[in-house]
Amino acid sequence: MALLPFIVSNNYYIKILIVLGINTIIVLGLNLLMGAAGQVSIGHAAFYGIGAYASAIVTTKYGLSPWFGLAAAVVLGGLVAYAIAMPTLRLKGHYLAMATLGFAEIVHVLFLELRDLTGGTDGLYGLPAITVGGFSFETPLKLYMLVLVFVVLSLVLSLNIVHSRVGRALRAVHGSEIAAASSGVDTAKYKIQVFVLSAVLASIGGSFYAHMAGYVSPESFTLGISITLVTMVVVGGMSNVWGAVIGASTLTVLEEYLKAYDDYNMVIFGGILILAMVFMPQGLVGAGAKLVSVFKRRSVILPDAAGENSAAS
Amino acid sequence: MRTVPLLDVVNLTKQFGGLTAVNEVSFRVYRDQVKAIIGPNGAGKTTVFNLLTGVDKPTSGTVLFDNHDIAGKKPHVVTKTGIARTFQNTQLFANMSVLENVMVGRHARMNCGIFRCMLGLPAVRREDAESKEKAHSLLKLVGLEKKADKPADDLPIGERHLLEIARALATEPRLILLDEPAAGLNNEETACLAEIIYKIKGNGITVLLVEHDMSLVMEISDEVVVLNFGAKIAEGPPLLIQQDEQVIQAYLGQAVHDA
Ligand SMILES: Nc1ncnc2c1ncn2[C@@H]1O[C@H](COP(=O)(O)OP(=O)(O)O)[C@@H](O)[C@H]1O
Ligand SMILES: [Mg+2]
C-alpha cells in the first residue's frame, strides 16, 4: 500500500488512495464499535461530517491552521459522541442503532440549515492545505503520506486495544452483557468509550477529507455514506481488526468503479451488506482464513487418506 | 457467640409485577462457610442471587456485605466489593477463548485504561502477563488447563459451569455464588466439583450455593436455607433439614419421587 503511489503517479489514483486511507481510519473505529463491542451505529456519516465541517469552519471562517481544524474535529466529534452515547448506551438492546440513525439525519439537516456557519447546500469552499512548519501537504501524494501515517497509527492503536484489558472488556460486553458486568466490567463506561473513540476516528477522517477536497457540502455525509461504512465493516469481517483494512480497501475501489451508477449507491451497498451478512458473516477475513485452513487440512489429510486406503486393501 | 456475618440478608423482597418472587427472606452467611439454598423450581433462588449481585434491584430489604449495604448497587461494583457469581444458564463469552474468558474476570483487579491500552505501554504488557498467569492457574484448579486456547463455545455443558467458576474466582471474591453448578454433570464430574468447592473454601473464600443435587448439598454444606414460593421455610444444618416435615413436603419428598 505504501509503494502504490510511486507506481501510479497519477493524481486521480492517488486521490482514490487517500479516500481509501480515510475510509480505513473510519472503518477501524467502527470495527471496534461493532465487531468488538457489538454496538451498531448507522449514523457515523454524521461524525465524518462533523469532522469535515469543524475543519472547514475553523480554517475558512477563522483563518486558523488546518491543525486547529483537525483538533476542532477531534474535540467536537468526541463531545457530540459523548452527548449521544450517555443516554443511549446505558440502555440495553438496539437503541443505539435507532438513536444514531435519527441523530445523523438531524446533523444532516443542520448542515443544510445553519447557512451562516455551513454555507447551506453550497457548503464551504477554499480550505487550505495542511502544513507542518514550512512544509505543505498540498499535493495529493504528500497528503496521502500524511493520511497513511494516521492509518498506520489507527491500525496500531486498534490492534493494541483489542488484545488488551479494554479489548477483552469490549468483547465481553458483546458476548454477554450481564456476565461482563458480573465479571467486574463497567459496561456502560466501555460502551461510551468505544463509541466516542469511533466517532473521533470518523471525525479525523472527515477533517482529512475536507482538506483533500478543498470544500465540504452536505451531500457527502448522508445516510448512504453511513450504510457504505457499515458495509465496509461487515464485508471486511467484524471479528478481526484487519477486516477493517480489507473491507475499506475493497469497497472503496468498488465504489470508484461504480461512480457512474452513483444514484444506485445505496441500493448496491445495501444489497452487498445483506448478502455479506447472510453468506459471509465472518467477512472476507473469515472467508480467507477458512480457505487457508481447508487447503492446510487437505495437504495434511491427503497422505493420511492414501495410507488408510493402502492399509485397507 | 458467633462473629459478624460476611453476608447479612434482611427481609429481602422482589416483586415482578404482581408476582412476589422473593418474599421477606432473611439469612446470614458466615466466613468460611459453605451454605446452600435449595427449593423447587421457581422458588426464587436465582432471583436471590440476582438481588445479591446487582443484576436485579430489590423491591425492599437490605443486603449487608461485610457491614456495607450493597442492595441495588451495580453488578460491577458488587463484584469489586468481593462477590462473584456463576449463572444457571451459563453466560460465557462465546466469541473468546477459554483463557480469555477467565482473563475478563481479572478486569476489576487490573488498572490499565483505554489510553494506556491503546499505546501498548510496558505497564499494559506486564499487567496482561500477570493476569494470564493467574488465569492459567485458575484453569488448572477447575481442570480446564488443556482447553485454555479453545473457543469457549466448544465446551460441553459441564465444563461450561467449571469455566464460569474459574472466571468468577478470577475476580478475587470473598464470597462466591454458584447457581446449580452440578447441572449436566455425571457422578464422577460431580465428585470433582465437590473437590473444587472444598479447594475454594480452603482458599478462604465463602461459598453460597444453589443446587438440586441433594447428596452434593448434604455432603458439602455447613448450613442449608430452604425456599418455597419465594419465602424461607427452613434453615439449619443439613441433617436437620433432611428431617424437616415442611421441607420434605415442599421439596425433598418431591425430589425423591423425581429420582
Ligand atoms: N426478570 C423476571 N421477570 C419476571 N419474572 C421473573 C423474573 N425472574 C424470575 N421471575 C419469576 O420469579 C420466580 C422465581 O424464579 P427463579 O428465581 O428463577 O427461581 P429458581 O431459581 O428458584 O428456580 C419464577 O416464577 C420466575 O418466573
Ligand atoms: Mg434458578
Q: For residue range B133-172, what is the model confidence (pLDDT) as tens digits?
A: 999 999 999 999 999 999 999 999 889 999 999 999 999 9
In this structure, the strands spanning B19-29 and B7-16 are antiparallel
- pLDDT tens for each residue of B1-56: 457 899 999 999 999 998 999 999 999 999 999 999 999 999 999 999 999 999 99
The three cell numbers of residue A191 are 460502551
Q: Count CB-CB contacts under 10 A for residue A9.
A: 10
| SS3 state at B5 | coil
B168 inside domain: no
Domain range summary for chain A, segments of one domain joined by +: 4-223, 286-313
| SS3 state at A10 | coil
> pLDDT class for B235, splitting at 50, 70, 90?
very high
B132 inside domain: no
B13 inside domain: yes
| Contact call for residues B226 and B248 (beta carbons, < 8 A) | no
CATH code, domain carrying B188: 3.40.50.300
Give pTM, 2 decimals: 0.90
For ligand 1, what atom is nearest to the CA of residue B227?
22
B130 inside domain: no
Which pLDDT score is estimated for A98?
Answer: 86
- pLDDT tens for each residue of B164-186: 999 999 999 999 999 999 988 88
| Contact call for residues A41 and A96 (beta carbons, < 8 A) | yes
Half-sphere exposure for A307 (CA within 13 Å, toward CB): 5
String of DSSP letters for B143-197: T-GGGTTSBGGGS-HHHHHHHHHHHHHHT--SEEEEESTTTT--HHHHHHHHHHH
ipTM: 0.92
Contact B113/A166, CB-based, under 8 Å? yes
d(CA B234, CA B226): 5
Domain limits at B55?
7-82+173-258
- Does the C-beta of B43 come closer than 6 Å to ligand 1? yes
The three cell numbers of residue B208 are 453460597
* Number of helices (H), then strands (E), in chain B: 11, 10
Which pLDDT score is estimated for A304?
Answer: 43
Which pLDDT score is estimated for A275?
Answer: 85
Average of pLDDT values for B216-229? Answer: 94
- Does the C-beta of B61 come closer than 6 Å to ligand 1? no
* Range B3-38 burial, b when 16+ CB lie within 10 A, else e: eebbbbbbebbbeeeeebbbbebebbbbbebbbbbb
B75 inside domain: yes
Nearest ligand for residue B19 CA = 1
Give the minimum alpha-carbon distance from B2 to chain A in angstroms, rounded to a whole number: 30
Q: Per the structure, how many domains does chain B have?
A: 1
Burial of B2 (0-12, 13-18, 19+ CB in 10 A): exposed
In this structure, the strands spanning A215-216 and A124-125 are antiparallel
- pLDDT tens for each residue of B70-109: 999 999 999 999 999 999 999 999 989 999 999 999 999 9
Which of B4, B103, B185 lies closest to A180 in space, CA to CA? B103
Which pLDDT score is estimated for A130?
Answer: 74
Chain B residue closest in CA terms to A197: B114
Contact A180/B96, CB-based, under 8 Å? no
- pLDDT tens for each residue of A155-179: 999 999 999 999 999 999 999 999 9
The three cell numbers of residue B205 are 473464600
B61 inside domain: yes
Which pLDDT score is estimated for A60?
Answer: 86
Contact A183/B109, CB-based, under 8 Å? no
Which pLDDT score is estimated for A181?
Answer: 97
Which pLDDT score is estimated for A308?
Answer: 41
Q: For B212, list phi and psi in degrees, rounded to 5.
A: -95, -20
Which pLDDT score is estimated for B259?
Answer: 43
| Contact call for residues A144 and A5 (beta carbons, < 8 A) | yes
B124 inside domain: no
In which residue ranges of chain A is pLDDT below 70? 1-9, 91-93, 132-134, 297-313
String of DSSP letters for A126-187: -PPPPEETTEE--SHHHHHHHHHHHHHHHHHHHHHHHTSHHHHHHHHHHH-HHHHHHTT--H
| SS3 state at A38 | coil
Q: Which residue has the cell 452434593?
A: B216
**Whole-number average pLDDT of chain B:** 92
Give the minimum alpha-carbon distance from A125 to chain B in angstroms, rounded to a whole number: 35
Residue nearest to atom 9 of ligand 1 (CA): B47
Residues of chain A in contact with residue B105, where contact means CB-CB under 8 angstroms, are: 183-184
Which pLDDT score is estimated for A313?
Answer: 35
* Range A115-131 burial, b when 16+ CB lie within 10 A, else e: eeebbeeebbeebbebe
B52 inside domain: yes
Per the model's pLDDT, the better-predicted residue between A204 and B249 turns out to be: A204
Q: Where are the alpha helices (DSSP H) in chain A?
A: 4-7, 11-30, 44-56, 66-89, 95-113, 115-118, 140-162, 165-175, 177-182, 187-213, 223-236, 241-257, 265-279, 283-312
